[in-house]
Amino acid sequence: MRISYSLLSFAAAGSFAAAHPSAGGFQCGSEPTPEFEALAAKVVPSNPADFDAQATIEIKTFFHVVAASQSVEDGNVPDKMLQDQLDVMNKAYAPHGFAFKLANTTRTFNSNWATGGNELEMKYALRQGTYADLNIYFLKQFKEIVYANCPFPSNYGRGTPNYVKDGCMIPSSTVPGGSNARFNLGLTTVHEIGHYMGVYHTFQGRCSSTLGDRVSDTPAQLDGSTGCPEGRDSCPDEPGLDPIHNYMDTSDE
């Protein structure tokens, strides 16, 4: 997805709060590129009211189910669960002016790809649409410690490896009703789409009172949450408790 000043300004305009996805004992693999950091530093925060009258931005979305076999246990997510995932995405982003329209769903049975192997090969084979469209790959599991991943937006040339890598890789166990009891409300995907749109973790700036996640009403946070630590205050010298119910934290669902 291309970087746009309007999108970055949206990210800086107000809190991305409510329920939250999380990695708990895992690690989100999404990190901003230096290019994105440089552009984000230039953005002047806008008044949230500036965005109230704008038309909803519709994002064409492609789902790719990548399973080890045709069984649900091997990552073959049923259509009903995919629809539930889409519904969760739209419910989360509708208040912020975004809607996701499913353009196509593919199903691929490849035990290597389903466990995170040969990412670039997989995406060259499966990716659809343009750089303005969202591709989401639901994998059975990941070989590395990384729990989920969605690159931050950058202006890559068409056909380059980084262009093709654009999109989100999500464990299929985290869709609504999935097998991961701690993270099966579909909010892991909501979290990763936030990165796709250029939104930082709530703890991006740790206890910095000047930078943080560049959202003015997000309390400072030292690091990601685990479990559901109500009342946690990891930056006691800064106002507010940790925003554990923010989509961009890493607490349990």
- Mean pLDDT per segment of 10 residues, for the chain of length 253 residues? 37 36 48 60 56 79 98 97 98 94 98 93 95 95 70 74 88 93 90 88 74 69 74 81 76 73
Q: Give the distance between the most distant pair of CA atoms in the chain.
A: 52
Contacts made by residues 79-83, CB under 8 angstroms, sequence distance 24+? 79/105, 81/175, 81/176, 81/177, 81/178, 82/138, 82/175
For residue 41, what pLDDT is reported? 60
How far apart CA 102 and CA 113 sit, in angstroms, is 22
For residue 4, what pLDDT is reported? 38
The yes-or-no answer on residue 31 being catalytic is no
User: Which residues make Cβ contacts (< 8 Å) with residue 189, sequence separation at least 6?
Assistant: 21, 85, 88, 89, 136, 148, 168, 170, 174, 175
Name the residue ranges covered by the structural domains of the chain: 5-196
Contact (Cβ atoms closer than 8 angstroms) between residue 192 and residue 85: no
Contact (Cβ atoms closer than 8 angstroms) between residue 244 and residue 17: no
For residue 205, what pLDDT is reported? 76
Neighbours of 235 (CB within 10 A): 22
CATH class of the structural domain 5-196: alpha beta
Q: Which of 192, 230, 238, 253 is catalytic?
A: 192
**Hey, which residues does 27 pair with through a beta bridge?**
146
Residue listed under structure tokens 């984000």: 40
